[in-house]
């Protein structure tokens, strides 16, 4: 059986001519090589009384076709506003938006591919936002570059990363932390970032200077009330006196090989997310404590794919939130 073909504008012009000449629907169908019922439906739907006008019939057809098409998801004002707020204001990725809606069982549903199409169609370009549209994406549409071959450096290593317990390596328990610092301008204030490997929960402390003593004191204070089994820091000089922290907290500190940031991928990824709020080459001291607190809260309340679209806060404290 042949697939159904819609009547074309040319055929409508021929129908009008034959109809005016008094031909029956059966005769018109035979002339156009169409089924008689197709011509009868066309005349019934698009005739005005006993007359048939091809141009008006085509207008009616086009109007009906628009109504029968599936509506675009982002044309829904409520859904568009929800997606826009989480993409521009909360820095959620399209994938995080899609699966968090599903995770909470919301009636709205949208795929991340649809959101990306909206982004590249400039639907999220908003003059009220300094950074909007495609520039709001984590990597701004750019491909990541591979760095060159590493070199070795000197660093005191009491426990190598290879000695870290299997349960810590497999993220099977809370309390295995990764540590790093995030710098602004040279010689200025820095952030000490601590991320739990299992929950991805972030603790961020601002320091006036990047010194080993300052980092040690801040790390001990930040983790004193947390569950701590181990810490895996960066190999920067600010962590060179890590034995002080190990003794104060009664834990072991595992040192990764040099120039292998992927060994602390959780911390490195979180630092990248933090950069969305604190761009490079900006003085970290200029930001208020309130702004820092809100940025950390936003990251801890951002759904993660690796957590089945729960947030670090929900996993770390075993609480369910309503975010959409």
**How many domains are there within the chain?**
3
Range of the domain at 32: 9-68
Report the DSSP pairing between strands 230-233 and 202-207.
unpaired
CA gap 121, 75 in Å, rounded: 13
Torsion sign, CA atoms 7, 9, 15, 20 = positive
Query: Mean of the per-residue pLDDT values for the chain?
Result: 89
Band (46; pLDDT cuts 50, 70, 90): confident
The verdict on 80 and 220 lying in the same domain is: no
148 found inside a domain: no
324 found inside a domain: no
CATH number for the domain including 247? 3.30.420.10
Note the pLDDT tens digit of each residue in 190-242: 999 999 999 999 999 999 999 999 999 999 999 999 999 999 999 888 998 99
Say whether pLDDT at 306 is over 90.
yes
CA gap 102, 18 in Å, rounded: 56
CA gap 53, 310 in Å, rounded: 59
CA gap 81, 87 in Å, rounded: 10
CA gap 270, 267 in Å, rounded: 5
CA gap 267, 196 in Å, rounded: 8
What pLDDT shows up at residue 5? Answer: 84
The verdict on 168 and 298 lying in the same domain is: yes
309: Cβ–Cβ under 8 A, 6 or more apart, which residues? 96, 99, 100, 102, 103, 303
109: Cβ–Cβ under 8 A, 6 or more apart, which residues? 98, 101, 102
The verdict on 61 and 172 lying in the same domain is: no
User: Model-level pTM greater than 0.85?
Assistant: no
126 found inside a domain: yes
Q: Encoding tokens for residue 236?
A: 């920067």
Q: Encoding tokens for residue 141?
A: 């549409």
Note the pLDDT tens digit of each residue in 105-123: 988 899 999 999 999 888 8
Domain final position from 105, 136, 167 = 136
What pLDDT shows up at residue 65? Answer: 82
CA gap 250, 44 in Å, rounded: 87
Compute the CA torsion angle 141, 146, 147, 150 (nearest 10 deg): 150
CA gap 54, 146 in Å, rounded: 62
CA gap 215, 201 in Å, rounded: 19
CA gap 161, 262 in Å, rounded: 12
Most confident stretch, 22-31, 67-76, 165-174: 165-174
Say whether pLDDT at 150 is over 50.
no
What pLDDT shows up at residue 267? Answer: 94
Say whether pLDDT at 66 is over 80.
no
The verdict on 107 and 179 lying in the same domain is: no
Say whether pLDDT at 258 is over 50.
yes
108 found inside a domain: yes
For the beta carbon of residue 180, count every other beta carbon within 10 angstroms.
23
The residue whose two tokens read 């003794």 is 247
Say whether pLDDT at 153 is over 80.
no
């Amino acid at each position: 059986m042949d697939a159904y073909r819609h009547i074309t504008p040319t055929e409508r012009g021929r129908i009008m001519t034959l109809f005016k000449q008094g031909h029956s629907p059966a005769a018109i169908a035979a002339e156009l090589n169409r089924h008689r019922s197709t011509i009868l439906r066309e005349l019934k739907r698009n005739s005005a009384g006993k007359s048939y006008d091809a141009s008006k019939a085509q207008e009616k057809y086009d109007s009906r076709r628009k109504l029968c098409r599936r509506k675009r998801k982002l044309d829904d004002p409520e859904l568009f506003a929800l997606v826009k707020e989480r993409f521009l204001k909360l820095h959620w990725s399209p994938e995080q938006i899609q699966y968090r809606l599903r995770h909470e069982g919301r009636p709205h549903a949208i795929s991340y591919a649809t959101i990306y199409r909206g982004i590249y169609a400039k639907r999220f370009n908003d003059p009220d936002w300094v950074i909007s549209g495609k520039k709001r994406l984590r990597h701004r549409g750019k491909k990541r570059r591979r760095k060159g071959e590493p070199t070795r450096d000197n660093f005191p290593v009491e426990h190598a990363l290879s000695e870290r317990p299997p349960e810590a390596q497999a993220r099977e328990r809370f309390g295995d932390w990764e540590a790093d610092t995030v710098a602004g301008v040279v010689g200025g204030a820095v952030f000490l970032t601590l991320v739990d490997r299992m929950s991805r929960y972030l603790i961020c402390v601002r320091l006036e200077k990047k010194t080993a003593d300052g980092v040690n004191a801040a790390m001990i204070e930040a983790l004193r009330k947390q569950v701590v089994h181990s810490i895996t820091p960066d190999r920067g000089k600010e962590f060179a006196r890590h034995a002080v922290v190990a003794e104060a907290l009664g834990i072991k500190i595992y040192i990764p090989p040099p120039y292998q940031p992927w060994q602390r991928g959780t911390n490195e990824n979180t630092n990248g997310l933090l950069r969305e709020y604190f761009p490079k080459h900006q003085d970290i001291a200029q930001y208020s404590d309130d702004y820092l607190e809100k940025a950390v809260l936003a990251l801890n309340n951002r759904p993660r794919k690796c957590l089945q679209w729960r947030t670090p806060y929900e996993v770390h404290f075993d609480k369910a939130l309503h975010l959409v």
